[in-house]
Structure 1
Amino acid sequence: MTAGAQRADKRPTQCKAVKPTFLGWSVTLTLSLCSASALGGGAAPVTAAPVSAAPSTAAPTASVPRPTLVGYAELKADTFAQGPASGAWNGGLRGEARFQGQPVQGFSGVQRDPQGQGFIFLSDNGFGAKNNSADYLLRLYRVSLTPGTPAARTGSVKVGSFIGLRDPDKKVPWQIVNEASGERLLTGADFDVEGFAFAPDGTLWIGDEFGPFLLHFSADGRLLEAPIATPNLPGLPTLRGQAPIVIGHRGSSGTRPEHTLESYRTAIEAGADFIEPDLVVTKDGVLVARHEPVIAAVDETGKVLEATTDVATRPEFRDRLTTKTLDGVKVHGYFVEDFTLAELRTLRAVERLPQLRGKAYDGQFTVPTLEEIIALVRDVEAKTGRKVGIYPETKHPTYMAEVAKVNTSQLLIDTLKRLNFTDPARVFIQSFEVGNLKDLNTRIMPAAGVKLPLVQLISSPDEAPYDWAAAGDGRKYDALTNDASLREIATYANGVGAYKRWIIDGEGHTTDFVTRAHTAGLLVHSWTFRNEPTYLLPTYKNDPEAEMRQALRAGVDGLFTDFPATGAKVVGQYTAPEVRSPQHPAFAQGLSSAAANLPASGGFEGFAIAPGGKLAYGLLEKTVAGDPAGQLRLMRYDLGTRHWALAGRYVLEQGGEAIGDLTPVNDSQMLVIERDNGQGETAKFKRLYLIDLAAKNADGTLRKTLVADLMALADPRGLAPSTRGGVFSFPYFTIENVLVLGPDTLLVANDNNYPATGGRGADVKDQTEFLWIKLPTALKLAPAYH
């Protein structure tokens, strides 16, 4: 479809009793919230403003007090609870159980116990992976914590009873590990539970990563309803919010010789919404699909320069070799208009770019007519029920009128009407010239009683519409890209087919072209997206999907691509009705052919219910396909109306690779753990940020304020065994628990990924460490906290 050459292309002094009215609970017991001094803390006076978002790991200064460790406790890695033996699975294969019971490990969420004075911790999904965790039972453990002092610095951690998660009422609509048992205990192969909260009615809500799902349980762990899927709410900025279309450029021309029935069939099977035939005319007036009228270009010695058929090897057609002027350029070769359809049928298609795409399919396919292409589309519809459209281009209409004496626009409409293929939802007509589109709009289509959408193709600024050039008009294609011209195009066409550099410049920056075209009411279909590195800017690092995603984020309404399978995959990730990770049961059990649009285990790592008790929030751990890299969706779920909404977008800092937990401060503010993927000596980034749903950056993302650097907490009293020089570091791979204990005190704990090692030494099993952290500046807690 391209014109011309192809392009590469804070503290108080005592404890106080408070009623646990957090989240609206109506409970008579009291909980003890202790200040830093009651816990043995010795923080410097609080005089500073909130810490900025540019933290330092250097020693604290007198003017900027850092958060202080005021309590510490630890739970040994080898801590077990009653239950069946576990750890028998390895990579999906079952062997001997490694543990005679259930490890109490992998804490991934924490809340106060509404029935006692301790805490409830949620165990993670098991032994590191879905296929290793079929014998790990999902539980919440009641835990009593006493922070350490310099005299007994490891403190006290007592694990009590647990709440086992189960599905006896068969609410899960797919097969689970314990499918046939009565209690149907849930395992780490069923769900990856990460964050939880109690609702005002006492029921339990949990965020899962595998789906990702929201899971609703009774207070004693019985699943109350089917897992609630996560909708893929954020749409693309297309003209009318519609899904972008994938156009098979000359079929699936990256994998089959272009403009052959096999290329079109492959494109349809790959998921193309439209296939694109470029149309030229035979000597006897039949529309056939070729990119150019010239079907083989040769030099004066007979060497083939470029060909889409094997005509140059056919001595019987040697007399058809000629030189013609095609859009002002002399071309030596063989031209379609010099062959009847019968003669053309004897030729076989060859790969136009053999050095790039090989010759495996040369000589196998014929040159198809438009009628045959439409028959193929109808055959697919009859067999599959899937309606695919065609996107014909009238090639070189001025040339065809002069040389072949044929008005290709008229012939196209006549053919479409004769074949009764005039559904405007299934046809776009495109052209690089201007006059023939205007003629189609004002004369040809009205006379035929046909109304089909037209698309003005816009090539690079060094080229021009040939009908302008032939009439002595010196303007180039850039003359079609200003606002006034876009409005003019909208008087005769429905869209523009723009060379992709109008949308993404040569430096990889998104322009305002799509926004301006949409303002004029025009669709934007961009070309041409190819998988080969030679056509990709360096910024994409040989990832063709990255280029497509950028174009889709820019708002294009369609993509022309030589590789429609890639295009369909990328568009499908955006337009899928749900956010799904690869561990979603629909994939594992063959219930879906759609592509996952969230990286593995990238679901609700953070989950919380706001103090008002009506709204739940889930923060995805990883980026949904198509969203800007490093942006995470914060989803809001109304527990009353059961409606989802996008609450905001959280942007990871440089060095941050994932989030670990989410906990409310008040109805608007929340704390987020952000971390890198390092541990031990490689750990550099483990932090707590405060976000406010009412505070956004200029780009609409959530504003963040650094609250604590967990790699550099002050510990002047040496509460933790690992503290060195008065500084405590928390270098665990995953830190997944944070809870607000008071205005200036937080509880933080890690997930030890049992039986993993590496946090405190390569050969040391990771234990679970509990930190009481005093902040230099108090948080603005909801009234229920006071």
Structure 2
Amino acid sequence: MTLTALLALSASASAAVTGGGVPAPAPAATMSQPTLVGYAELPADTFAAGPASGAWNGEGVRGEARFSRQPVQGFSGVQRLAGGSFMFLSDNGFGSKANSADYLLRLYRVSFKGQQQAGSVPQVGSFVQLRDPDKRVPFRIVNENSAERLLTGADFDPEGFVVAPDGTLWVGDEFGPYLLHFSADGVLLEAPIATPNLAGLPTLNGGKPVVVGHRGSSGTRPEHTLASYREAIAAGADFIEPDLVVTKDGVLVARHEPVIAVVGADDKVIEATADVHSRPEFRDRLTTKTLDGVQVRGYFVEDFTLAELKTLRAVERLPKLRGTAYDGQFEIPTLAEVIALVRETEAKTGRKVGIYPETKHPTYMQQVAGFNTSQLLIDTLVREKFTDPSRIYIQSFEVGNLKELNSTIMPKAGVNIPLVQLVSSPDEPAYDLKAAGDTRTPADMLSDAGLREIASYADAVGPYKRWVIDDQCQVTDFVSRAHAAGLPLHPWTFRNEPTYLLPCYGGDPKAEMRQALWAGVDGFFTDFPATGAEVVREFTTAEVRSPQNPAFANGQPNVSNLPSSGGYEGLAISPDGKTIYALLEKTVQGDPKGTLRLHAFDLATRQWSLAGRLALDSDAEAIGDLTAVNATQYLVIERDNKQGAEARAKRIYLLDLARKNADGTFQKTLVADLMNLADPQRLSPNSVNGVLGFPFFTIENVLVLDKNTILVANDNNYPATGGRGADVKDDTEVLWIRLPQPLNLAR
């Protein structure tokens, strides 16, 4: 029978095999732990026909070939053929893209006879050569101009394969990572299928979280200046935030507070956003006012005309933290000028950035300055013809003005702009409620009843970030409760400086942002929108790409979001033959540490979906293989990056796709500790006192033989040493393991 026919038959082979496939059961006394019932070794120096190999070093420099033929190993995937033999997939060759250009990618037929005899040698038979004669690969390969276009380890890194019901082969690749589709005799049938970036963030509507440039890019430029807003837009902010106060002549300008310089009794500036105190012509404007119940001495915007304000220059509000390099360079902008900047960006780039204005202290502005800033805001937006609800949010810490906007001002103007109720820390109630004698606290406003009340007049909520993640770095239930009320949420404020970060983040602002995104926030305010946009891109970049992705070799910027050698290490097919499950070996940038994405690929529709995530054990660093047990349960190998005497984590788990933990990761059950296998028959020469450890760096082959028995084999990373001794070349060891508890096989 031809190898192609054997492959086709293997797609429909039954779960049980006869003859040499599964050894006889081990003695009952050993069944309390996984027990070795079969063993075979394939010597490291096993070669097959083919050109000389091993001429390239790790820097991609070619020298003399080390081998006259093609090494058969190491093996990174296994499937059973009809008749009891097996098909093993060789991986990329000598360990890297740079040194494997002369290693040919193949699948080898391997037969085992007498595997219960220690030291028996498997028989390597024919092979399937993977190749691309029809030029399906869209990038340059090593054998680009040859007729057969044989694929090499510098083109792809195959780390798992399955046989589809039609007999064709599907191979998982680490370099892309890609899914590769071959005929049964190894011809690539279609272009490599890239991996979409399906982050699966739990936002309210499943959309991309928005990055709001808090007062622009206020961490790098003086806040509320056109320079700060321009910097935020260039950094990738989706919205820029102008806090709005009003001048003496009724013009809305961007300042964080109506007071632009706070001055102490000693005549020293306590805090300022403009250089007004250094201007003698305005000394008569220094005064004391009551701002939201607090006496403040300083200079107030409502005491200046716009023309007077335009003579001032912005200064850094936090000079000790952020320096004074840009002091005195920028004007105070009007809201109309901020809108003009956004339009200028759109005209030049086509990018539609939004604005996120806040009406500052509306009660104070009405009572002291004599202006209804909510009405002024809508009048300005209508006059500037900037009322697209997809490009504006209006926010306020007070409640009354949002209700007035919702019920009266916006309907009268014929506009419908989303409103956001800001909520401060627990000890800072909304001022208009406090002034009216309303005793509601921020906690009351963010209770379930309070959120339902907010949803009656506003479209989103903007909480202080500790309502989402507490001061112990624990995610609260606030996101789920806000979403249950139909409210997206945009917490504030995320900053890069360590002084603003909790100790648990280790000085890494991205860690805080990632935790908020995984908590389900729909956007966030940040003084450093470049950092915020970078973190969001980790989740929303179109594809998952490793550093070895060939796109980067073709001149594209290397924006990989997956560690090196982190692509598809495990590949399995559902028992009904309809879905391929592809498990990444390492964590996608931005995902929770130690979690691996399991992708599902529908063979009929060619559509990807995210099946979920596997959480590795704390001492594990990668996975080795994936294989089906039944429709919802799969075996997975977890491993550390150690070998020999240092190896600890070499385990096989039963993964349940239908059951998830509280954090959303799959539930798993330990099936076998490969460092502690009973060997009562002394089948392996490496057993000690009747116990076999399997301390290889990579173990990349697992296959269910029947409900009681699995086959496991290492990838020997030829010509590596270390698993069985520092100077001993690693052989490929194949284990037949009887499990203490039977698996529930697909029927």
- TM-score tier by shorter-chain length is over 0.9
Pick the aligned partner of 1:79 from 40, 46, 52: 46
Extract unaligned runs of 5+ from structure 2: 1-5
Q: Is structure 2 residue 558 aligned with structure 1 residue 571?
A: no
Q: CA shift at 1:228, angstroms?
A: 1.9
Match of 1:659 in 2: 623
Q: Which amino acid aligns with 1:83?
A: G
Change in Cα spacing, 1:98 to 1:253, as seen in structure 2 (3 Å) is farther
Task: Name the structure 2 match of 1:313.
Answer: 278
Q: Tell me, yes or no, if the aligned pair for 1:679 and 1:732 is still in contact at 8 Å.
A: yes
Q: Secondary structure at the match of 2:342?
A: helix
Separation in 1 of the partners of 2:467 and 2:169? 51
5 Å-filtered alignment, 1:56-135, equals 65-100=32-67, 101-114=69-82, 117-135=84-102
- Residue 449 of structure 1, aligned match among 414, 430, 440: 414
- Residue type at the aligned position of 1:69: L
Instruction: Pick the aligned partner of 2:431 from 443, 466, 485.
Output: 466
Among residues 224, 227, 239, which one is paired with 2:189 in the alignment? 224
CA apart distance, 1:90: 4.3
1:23 lines up with 2:7 in the alignment: no
1:142 Cα offset (Å): 2.3
What is the rounded CA distance, in whole Å, between the counterparts of 2:185 and 2:8 in structure 1?
A: 19
Q: Does 1:32 align with 2:14?
A: no
In structure 2, the residue matched to 1:358 is 323
Q: Is 2:740 the counterpart of 1:776?
A: yes
Report what 1:535 is aligned to.
500
1:175-574 residue pairs with structure 2 within 5 A? Answer: 175-233=140-198, 235-574=200-539
Alpha-carbon RMSD across the aligned residues, in angstroms, is 2.7
In the aligned structure 2, how far is the partner of 1:144 from the partner of 1:636? 31
2:609 aligned with 1:609 = no
State the Cα deviation string for residues 182-208 of structure 1 (Å, max 9, x = none): 322222232221110112222111112
Asked if the contact 1:24–1:611 (Cα under 8 Å) also holds between the matched residues in 2, the reply is no
- Counterpart in 1 of 2:3? none
CA gap 1:349/1:649 in 2 versus in 1, 3 angstroms: same
Task: Pick the aligned partner of 2:692 from 728, 734, 739.
Answer: 728
CA shift in 2, pair 1:414/1:121, >3 Å: same
Q: Please report how far the alpha carbon of residue 635 of structure 1 lies from its aligned counterpart in structure 2 after TM superposition.
A: 2.6
CA shift digits 1:16-51 (9 cap, x unpaired): xx999653259xxx96345434xxx744347xxxxx
Q: Partners of 1:560 and 1:617 in 2: how far apart?
A: 37
Shift of 1:451: 1.6
Q: Which residue of 2 aligns with 1:51?
A: none
Q: Distance in 1 between matches of 2:721 and 2:314?
A: 60
Q: 1:700 offset after TM fit, Å?
A: 5.3
Q: Does 1:737 align with 2:701?
A: yes
Are 2:20 and 2:112, in contact at CA under 8 Å, matched by a contact in 1? no
Distance 1:185 1:365, change over 3 A: farther
Does the 8 Å contact 2:263/2:297 carry over to 1? Answer: yes
CA 172–232 in structure 1, closer or farther in 2 if over 3 Å, else same: same
Q: Distance in 2 between matches of 1:764 and 1:453?
A: 68
Does the Cα contact within 8 Å between 2:21 and 2:85 map onto a contact in 1? no
1:169-180 pair list within 5 angstroms: 169-180=134-145
Q: How many angstroms apart in 1 are the aligned matches of 2:468 and 2:376? A: 33
Aligned partner letter, 1:120: M
> What is the percent sequence identity of the aligned residues?
70
What amino acid does structure 2 have at the position aligned with 1:44? A
Q: Mean alpha-carbon deviation: is it higher for 758-767 or for 547-556? A: 758-767
How far the C-alpha of 1:367 sits from its partner, in A, is 1.9
Q: 1:623, CA displacement in angstroms?
A: 3.1
Distance change (3 Å), C-alpha of 1:695 and 1:281: closer
> Which secondary structure does the structure 1 equivalent of 2:491 belong to?
strand
Residues 633-658 of structure 1 show CA distances to partners (whole Å, capped at 9, x for unaligned) of 33332323333344443332332222
**Counterpart residue identity of residue 194, structure 1:** E
Higher deviation after alignment, 269-278 or 300-309: 300-309
Query: Is 1:695–1:702's contact at 8 Å kept on the other side of the alignment?
Result: yes
Counterpart of 1:280, as a letter, is V
Q: How far apart are the structure 2 equivalents of 1:445 and 1:460? A: 29
- Normalising by structure 1, what TM-score? 0.88
Change (3 A) 1:134 1:326: farther
Q: How many residues align?
A: 739
Partner Cα separation in structure 1 for residue 211 and residue 675 of structure 2 = 47
Q: Distance in 1 between matches of 2:462 and 2:124?
A: 65
Q: 1:50 is matched with which residue?
A: none
Cα pair distance change 1:370/1:590, threshold 3 Å = farther
Matched, 1:138 2:126: no
CA contact (8 A) 1:254 1:562 kept: yes
CA–CA separation in structure 1 for the residues paired with 2:362 and 2:110: 79
After superposition, give the CA deviation of every residue in 1:318-344 in whole Å (9 maximum; x if it has no partner): 333333222222222332223333332
Distance 1:339 1:563 in 2: 31
Does the 8 A contact of 2:23 with 2:116 survive in 1?
no
Using the alignment, how far apart are the partners of 2:312 and 2:55 within structure 1?
63
- Structure 1 SS opposite 2:489: strand
Gapped regions of structure 1 (runs ≥ 5): 1-17, 47-63
Larger CA deviation: 389-398 vs 249-258: 249-258
In the alignment, the residues of structure 1 paired with residue 284 and residue 57 of structure 2 have an alpha-carbon distance, to the nearest angstrom, of 71
Structure 1 residues 560-602: Cα deviation after superposition (integer angstroms, max 9, x where no partner): 1112122222222333444333433344434578x54433332
Q: Say whether residues 1:161 and 2:126 are aligned partners.
A: yes
Corresponding letter in the other structure for 1:71 = G
**Which amino acid in structure 2 is aligned with residue 32 of structure 1?**
G
Relative to structure 1, is the Cα distance of residues 291 and 691 closer, same or farther in structure 2, using a 3 angstrom cutoff? Answer: same
C-alpha separation in 1, matches of 2:8 and 2:183: 19
Q: Tell me the distance in 2 between the aligned counterparts of 1:584 and 1:112.
A: 31
**Which whole-Å CA distance do the structure 1 matches of 2:412 and 2:165 have between them?**
68
Q: Is the 8 A contact 1:141 1:161 kept in 2?
A: yes
SS at match of 1:518: helix
The residue aligned with 2:584 is 620
Distance 1:571 1:78, change over 3 A: same
The residue type paired with residue 417 of structure 1 is: V
- Counterpart amino acid of residue 181 in structure 2: H
CA distance, structure 1, for counterparts of residue 59 and residue 150 of structure 2: 19
With normalisation by structure 2, the TM-score equals 0.92
User: Using the alignment, how far apart are the partners of 2:189 and 2:605 within structure 1?
Assistant: 17
The reply to whether residue 679 of structure 1 matches residue 621 of structure 2 is no
Aligned to 1:3: none
Any idea what the Cα deviations from partners look like across 1:736-759, whole Å, max 9, x if unmatched?
Answer: 011223333322111122333332
Contact persistence 1:25–1:200 (CA under 8 A): no
Structure 2 Cα separation of the partners of residues 157 and 299 of structure 1: 87
Question: Would you say the 8 A contact 1:24–1:613 is kept in 2?
Answer: no
